[in-house]
Amino acid sequence: MNLIIRTNYWLVLLLFFNGCESIPFLQDSFPSKPQANLTVPQIEGASEKRDRYEFTGKEIIISSDHPLASQAGMEVWKQGGNVVDVFAAASFAISVLRPHSTGLFGGGFAVVFLPAKGKWAYDFRERSPKKGVASFYLKEDGSVILEKTLKGPYSAGVPGTVQGILQIQKQHGKLPLSDILAPAIRYARNGFSVYGDLAAAIVKTWPQMNPAMQKVFGIDNRAIREGELLIQEDLAKTLERIIENAEKEFSDGETIQLVSNYYSEFQEFITTEDFKNYQVKVSEPLVSSVWGHTILTMPPPSSGVHLVTMMHLYSEMQNRNTFPKGDVGEMIRITEAMRVAYRDRAEIGGDPLFTNIPVSKLLSQGYAKEETNEIERKVVSGSWPTPKEEVKKPESYNTTHISILDREGNAVSTTQSVNGIFGAGHMVPGTGLVLNNTMDDFAVAPGVPNLYGLVGSKANAIEPGKTPLSSMSPSILLDASGKTKMVIGAPGGSQIPTSIFNTLYRYLIQKRDLYESVSYPRIHHQFMPDRIFLDPEIKDSYPQSELPFYQVQYSRHRAKVFAVTREGDRLIGVSDPKGEGVPLGF
User: DSSP code of 444?
Assistant: S
Which of residues 167, 309, 419, 502 is near ligand DON by CB under 6 A? 419
Helix, strand, or coil here: 114?
A: strand
Which of residues 288, 417, 467, 575 is near ligand DON by CB under 6 A? 417
Q: What's the Rg (C-alpha) of the chain?
A: 23
The CA distance from 580 to 23, in Å, is: 18
CB contact at 8 A, 417 and 511 = no
Cis peptide before 529 (omega within 30 of 0): yes
Stretch binding ligand DON (CB under 6 A), from 196-204, 344-352, 491-499, 577-585: 491-499
Which of residues 97, 104, 368, 472 is near ligand DON by CB under 6 A? 472
Q: Which residues in the 119-178 window bind ligand DON by CB under 6 A?
A: none
Pick the closer one to ligand DON by CB: 285 or 493. 493
In the bound complex, what is the minimum distance in angstroms from residue 492's beta carbon to ligand DON?
Answer: 5
Helix, strand, or coil here: 71?
A: helix
Which of residues 250, 263, 275, 397 is near ligand DON by CB under 6 A? 397
β-strand 229-230 against 562-567: which pairing, if any? unpaired
Angle subtended at Cα 561 by Cα 555 and Cα 563, rounded to the nearest 5 degrees: 155
- Of 446, 443, 445, 427, whose CA–CA distance to 435 is shortest? 427
Which of residues 232, 399, 414, 503 is near ligand DON by CB under 6 A? 399
# of chain residues touching ligand DON (CB under 6 A):
14
- Return the number of other C-beta atoms located less than 10 Å from residue 356's C-beta: 9
Helix, strand, or coil here: 339?
A: helix
In the bound complex, what is the minimum distance in angstroms from residue 559's beta carbon to ligand DON?
Answer: 7
The reply on whether position 414 binds ligand DON by CB under 6 A is: no
The CA distance from 50 to 59, in Å, is: 21
- Of 415, 367, 378, 365, whose CA–CA distance to 563 is shortest? 415
The reply on whether position 105 binds ligand DON by CB under 6 A is: no
The CA distance from 127 to 250, in Å, is: 14
Which of residues 159, 160, 409, 493 is near ligand DON by CB under 6 A? 493
The CA distance from 139 to 575, in Å, is: 44
Interface mask toward ligand DON for 452-471; x: CB under 6 A: ------------------xx
Pick the closer one to ligand DON by CB: 64 or 417. 417
Pick the closer one to ligand DON by CB: 335 or 471. 471
In the bound complex, what is the minimum distance in angstroms from residue 37's beta carbon to ligand DON?
Answer: 31
Which of residues 191, 492, 521, 581 is near ligand DON by CB under 6 A? 492
The reply on whether position 491 binds ligand DON by CB under 6 A is: yes
The reply on whether position 517 binds ligand DON by CB under 6 A is: no
Q: Check 372, 399, 400, 503 and give the catalytic one.
A: 399
The reply on whether position 403 binds ligand DON by CB under 6 A is: no
Pick the closer one to ligand DON by CB: 476 or 496. 496
Pick the closer one to ligand DON by CB: 181 or 280. 280
Stretch binding ligand DON (CB under 6 A), from 272-280, 315-323, 361-369, 488-496: 488-496
In the bound complex, what is the minimum distance in angstroms from residue 569's beta carbon to ligand DON?
Answer: 34
The CA distance from 304 to 205, in Å, is: 31
CA torsion, points 354, 355, 358, 360, in degrees to nearest 10? Answer: -10
In the bound complex, what is the minimum distance in angstroms from residue 47's beta carbon to ligand DON?
Answer: 24
Pick the closer one to ligand DON by CB: 315 or 502. 502
The reply on whether position 441 binds ligand DON by CB under 6 A is: yes
- Of 428, 429, 459, whose CA–CA distance to 446 is shortest? 459
Stretch binding ligand DON (CB under 6 A), from 33-41, 397-405, 456-464, 506-514: 397-405
The reply on whether position 102 binds ligand DON by CB under 6 A is: no
1 Cβ neighbours under 8 A, 6+ residues apart: none
In the bound complex, what is the minimum distance in angstroms from residue 209's beta carbon to ligand DON?
Answer: 19
The CA distance from 118 to 106, in Å, is: 27
Which of residues 398, 502, 517, 526 is near ligand DON by CB under 6 A? 398
Pick the closer one to ligand DON by CB: 214 or 398. 398
The CA distance from 467 to 383, in Å, is: 39
The yes-or-no answer on residue 399 being catalytic is yes
The reply on whether position 91 binds ligand DON by CB under 6 A is: no
The CA distance from 234 to 434, in Å, is: 11
In the bound complex, what is the minimum distance in angstroms from residue 198's beta carbon to ligand DON?
Answer: 14
- Of 102, 495, 471, 476, whose CA–CA distance to 284 is shortest? 476
CA 469 from centre of chain: 14
- Return the number of other C-beta atoms located less than 10 Å from residue 63's C-beta: 36
The CA distance from 66 to 89, in Å, is: 13
Binding stretches for ligand DON (CB under 6 A): 397-399, 417, 419, 438, 441, 470-472, 491-493, 496
Catalytic positions are 399
